[in-house]
A = this chain, B = another copy of it.
Amino acid sequence: MSDLSALRDRIDQLDAILVHTLAERFRQTARVGALKAAEGLPPRDADRESAQRARIDSLAKDAGLDPEFARKIHGLIVDQVKENHRKISGDQ
């Protein structure tokens, strides 16, 4: 049972990294949103989004993560970023 317990501790550590990295990512996208609003830039940038998708795909392949799963997670993050931007701009 101690092998299982050690693996679970490791998974818990990885979950903590995931949660803190996601929190930090939303802080950075909030800054991007604020900067774009201040500079009068459009909230969406199709070229950036397409480059990001290609990058996630390539990162996933390198890391040995199912690219389809990586796209699913990334999609959920992007939806949340859009939702946060809507909340900030009051455009709900």
Question: Which chain A residues have a beta carbon within 8 Å of chain B's beta carbons?
Answer: 3-4, 7-8, 10-12, 14-29, 31-32, 35-36, 39, 41, 48, 52, 55-56, 59-60, 63-66, 69-70, 72-74, 76, 80
Contact = CB atoms under 8 A, between A and B. Distances in A.
A8 to B, nearest CB: 7
A22 B73 contact: yes
Interface of A is mostly: helix
B20 A63 contact: yes
Contacts of A24: 14
B19 A7 contact: no
A75 to B, nearest CB: 10
Nearest to A16: B59
